[in-house]
Amino acid sequence: MYAAAVRFDLHIPESRSLKAKRQAIRPILDGLRHRFKVSVAEVDHLEQWQRAGIGVALVANTERHLHEVLESVERFVAAAPGIELLDSETAWLEVEHS
* Percent of the chain with pLDDT strictly greater than 70: 97
SS3 36: helix
Q: CA 96, CA 9: separation in Å to the nearest integer?
A: 30
pLDDT exceeds 80 at position 95: no
CATH for 46: 3.30.70.1120
Per the domain annotation, does 43 fall within a domain?
yes
Q: How many structural domains compose the chain? A: 1
Closest by Cα among 28, 17, 35 to 53: 28
Domain that holds residue 32: 2-93
Under 8 Å between Cβ of 94 and 2:
no
Average pLDDT over residues 64-83: 96
Interacting residues of 93 by C-beta distance below 8 A, sequence separation 6+ = 2, 3, 4, 5
Average pLDDT over residues 50-69: 95
Look up the pTM and report it.
0.90
**Band of pLDDT at residue 98, cut at 50, 70 and 90:** low
Per the domain annotation, does 98 fall within a domain?
no
What local confidence, expressed as pLDDT, does residue 96 receive?
Answer: 66
